[in-house]
Chains A and B, each alone.
Chain A
């Protein structure tokens, strides 16, 4: 559905030092520097897939999205989306896509969101019956029956985001680009938006590319992630594999009945486990937190359970945030 080969986007950035005279000088003598926002990125996305796009600010996520939607011309490389070349701006292409940006609004500010819907109905030439059907569906999925009758300026951020989504999906796009759709929303509302994206994907077999700062979004929605940094694609594959590769350990938390004896026992047990990639993260009198290599997790926990009077024991995967920051630190290769 989406094919990207060797995509490159270079910005010419005008450089000058701060201060009055250097700004005057820059009027006559401009220095330009090439910034590689996206450099030699290739990937392909199958129909119906939801792919998470991760990376720090300025990594090239938004630039890639803009190239895929046709807002930017690529400097080099080939891009095909749904069989179209995006920057040719064909209407048939625009009818099939939608871009939702969490930080920018397309709703008319002073009137209810339903007015924006009507404008979009005419813009996308949706006939009455199809419009009614799609609107009813969106109202039901997003629970916006009352919200959409209130002037947009009186809506909460979460309500506005729901209307934003509805306005962008009236024409039933099967290619969806979501740029930070949950930014600034509280946990509840994030969950609502996430659930909506999942259902829309299932209902319309839509292909979705999603960027987010919240790992929870990506972890909940996407099986596959792409990690980008400084314009380079660092990783493209299953989330679980990313975790395995860059976090080959689990977190083991242990609560036990205290006392000096117990602590000594713990120490000797840990020593006896030897070279199982074991690392103590935190320790108090009744509690210890360990990082243990995946393949040793069962032996280590079994031995601890045998020797100590364990009150509670949990084993967790590291958070996706940790994995990503580890991946960046390691400078991963795809």
Chain B
């Protein structure tokens, strides 16, 4: 465990060093994130121009959810996306051999070796928006609510990681999976709004089939409408199960890789 933390710290350090090489990139990125967030808030404003609530959520509640969305989006772009493209490269160019020869957990390595450090701004800005929305609502959450928020938020991160990791692992068989990441992102975009906005089949699908609802709506609910212990439990178990599943799939993929490639 200590070695894992040390590795993660080292990966983060190496990526920081790598990116300092391109300073301008950072400023450009900060501007992009700021603009995107402003645009999202503006969009929310439009939705609330004539209505007091959308799908039962007030303006500041939706803002809070937008904050959660932005933070998770930041996590995807900071950690998941850069590693996905590397894994595809590793497999196509055969440099995965170097990863497999290292005395470290190979799944840990391919999942977290490359991070885009500046995207941490997305996470900070997103959480900032959550705090801002809370302040505007004037109702400070109880400590139970805060704890459930962090549990659900972590579960959401695990879920996103697991879904993403499984898509990545598919590249062992399909080699090129870049398009799958676009598919994921367009699904994920539906998480900008509470699930209750969607109707009928779509809502069911987003709740259970592709659990976008769990990813943003549930953590946001923890701070606004409140969640039940039952929901907490389901989210936690589901998250752990998904992560365990990635582990199995990764092993399977490695076995087929090591017995097939040349």
Whether B143 sits at the interface, judged by CB under 8 Å, is: no
- For B100, list chain A residues within 8 Å (CB): 70-71, 89
- For B101, list chain A residues within 8 Å (CB): 69-71, 94, 97-99
Expressed in whole angstroms, the Cα–Cα distance for A71 and B255 within the complex equals 10
Whether A66 sits at the interface, judged by CB under 8 Å, is: yes
Q: A66-B97, A111-B21 are in contact. Are A72 and B7 (CB under 8 A)?
A: no
Whether B258 sits at the interface, judged by CB under 8 Å, is: yes
**Docked complex: A87-108 residues within 8 A CB-CB of B:** 87, 89, 91-92, 94-95, 97-99, 101, 104-106, 108
Whether A63 sits at the interface, judged by CB under 8 Å, is: yes
Q: Counting chain A CB atoms within 10 Å of each CB, which of B17, B95, B101, B102 scores highest? A: B101
Expressed in whole angstroms, the Cα–Cα distance for A118 and B14 within the complex equals 8
Interface SS, A side: mixed
Whether A136 sits at the interface, judged by CB under 8 Å, is: no
- For B103, list chain A residues within 8 Å (CB): 91-92, 94-95, 123-124
Expressed in whole angstroms, the Cα–Cα distance for A62 and B255 within the complex equals 19
Could you give, for residues 105-123 of chain A, a 1 whenever the CB lies within 8 Å of some chain B CB and a 0 otherwise?
1101011000100110011
- For B6, list chain A residues within 8 Å (CB): 122
Verify B97–A71 contact, CB threshold 8 A.
yes
Expressed in whole angstroms, the Cα–Cα distance for A72 and B94 within the complex equals 13
Verify A94–B95 contact, CB threshold 8 A.
no
- For B14, list chain A residues within 8 Å (CB): 108, 111, 115, 118-119
- For B189, list chain A residues within 8 Å (CB): none
Verify A73–B18 contact, CB threshold 8 A.
no
Q: A111-B18, A124-B103 are in contact. Are A101 and B7 (CB under 8 A)?
A: no
Whether B50 sits at the interface, judged by CB under 8 Å, is: no
Whether B23 sits at the interface, judged by CB under 8 Å, is: no
Interface SS, B side: helix
- For B94, list chain A residues within 8 Å (CB): 104
Expressed in whole angstroms, the Cα–Cα distance for A63 and B97 within the complex equals 12
Q: Kindly report which residue of chain A lies nearest to residue B93, judged by CB atoms.
A: A104
- For A72, list chain B residues within 8 Å (CB): 258-259, 261
Verify A115–B17 contact, CB threshold 8 A.
yes
- For B21, list chain A residues within 8 Å (CB): 110-111, 151
Whether A322 sits at the interface, judged by CB under 8 Å, is: no
**Docked complex: B1-40 residues within 8 A CB-CB of A:** 3, 6-7, 10-11, 13-14, 17-18, 21-22
Q: How far is the CB of A174 from chain B (nearest CB, A)?
A: 15
- For B10, list chain A residues within 8 Å (CB): 118-119, 122-123
- For B255, list chain A residues within 8 Å (CB): 73
Q: Kindly report which residue of chain B lies nearest to residue A98, judged by CB atoms.
A: B101
Q: A69-B101, A95-B103 are in contact. Are A106 and B18 (CB under 8 A)?
A: no
Q: A94-B102, A122-B7, A123-B103 are in contact. Are A37 and B97 (CB under 8 A)?
A: no
Give the contacting residue for A11; candidates B17, B98, B102, B262; CB below 8 A.
Answer: B262
Whether A257 sits at the interface, judged by CB under 8 Å, is: no
Q: Counting chain B CB atoms within 10 Å of each CB, which of A12, A69, A106, A123 scores highest? A: A123
Give the contacting residue for B97; candidates A87, A104, A108; CB below 8 A.
Answer: A104
Q: Kindly report which residue of chain B lies nearest to residue A89, judged by CB atoms.
A: B100
Expressed in whole angstroms, the Cα–Cα distance for A94 and B103 within the complex equals 5
Whether B260 sits at the interface, judged by CB under 8 Å, is: yes
Expressed in whole angstroms, the Cα–Cα distance for A125 and B2 within the complex equals 11
Verify B98–A106 contact, CB threshold 8 A.
yes
Interface positions of A (Cβ within 8 A of B)? 11-12, 37, 62-63, 66, 69-73, 87, 89, 91-92, 94-95, 97-99, 101, 104-106, 108, 110-111, 115, 118-119, 122-125, 151
Known: A71-B101, A124-B102. 11 other contacts (CB 8 A): A66-B97, A71-B258, A72-B258, A97-B101, A104-B98, A108-B14, A108-B18, A110-B18, A115-B14, A122-B6, A123-B104
16 contacts between A and B (CB under 8 A): A63-B262, A66-B97, A73-B258, A89-B100, A91-B103, A99-B98, A99-B101, A104-B94, A104-B95, A105-B95, A108-B18, A111-B17, A119-B10, A122-B6, A123-B102, A151-B21
10 smallest beta-carbon distances between A and B, as pairs:
A94-B103, A122-B10, A91-B103, A106-B98, A73-B259, A95-B103, A111-B18, A119-B14, A104-B95, A123-B102
